[in-house]
Amino acid sequence: MKPSPNLDMLTPALRARFDAMIAHYPVKRSALVPMLLYAQDELGYLTPEVISGIAARLELDELAVREVIGYYSMLRLHPAGRYHVQVCTNISCQLRGADRIWEHCRARLQLENHQTTPDGLFSLEEVECIGACSWAPALQVNYDFHQQLTPEKVDEILDGYRQKGASS
């Protein structure tokens, strides 16, 4: 018999954190996005098993969970590089040169959309608005925002992460 979906792939500490979060909200579903983010942080991406486990824990349809994952660009279904570079090309950023920033990132990292460098250090993704419109053009690396970008500034940012990656 197939085992029912569970969250055994996560650490006991994270499972305990989930229990506390779920108890905190009047509606279990409210814990969905934070649970997905914490699970992704621990596993690197959202595996089919963890999606099933979270859906079961929150008594949701798996499809409803996948719809939420599809909506938020910070949630991913595939492994990413250690530094996941998300470049916004939505309207405010586009009006202020996002296309140039995107092309510069592609050339500099030698990656296309959704690809990862062979050393696993960087991955690249073109995304919709990341909420930094007032400081466009903007990109995000993991949880860090970088704004008012120029190609030169992008070089400094990527070099900084490369050095950080080499020294740790």
Figure out which of the listed residues 132, 141, 149, 154 binds ligand FES, where binding follows CB under 6 A: 132
Strand partners, 124: 85
Degrees, nearest 5: CA angle 105-109-33? 70
130 binds ligand FES (CB under 6 A): yes
DSSP annotation of 112: -
Q: How far is CA 32 from CA 26, 35, 94, 138, in A?
A: 13, 5, 31, 27
**Please, what is the minimum distance in Å from the beta carbon of residue 89 to ligand FES?**
7
Q: Which of 16, 64, 77, 91 binds ligand FES (CB under 6 A)?
A: 91
The CA distance from 65 to 60, in Å, is: 7
- The correct pick among 73, 92, 117, 142 for binding ligand FES (CB under 6 A) is 92
**Contacts to ligand FES from residues 48-67, by CB under 6 A:** none
List of residues contacting ligand FES (CB under 6 A): 88, 90-93, 129-133, 136, 138
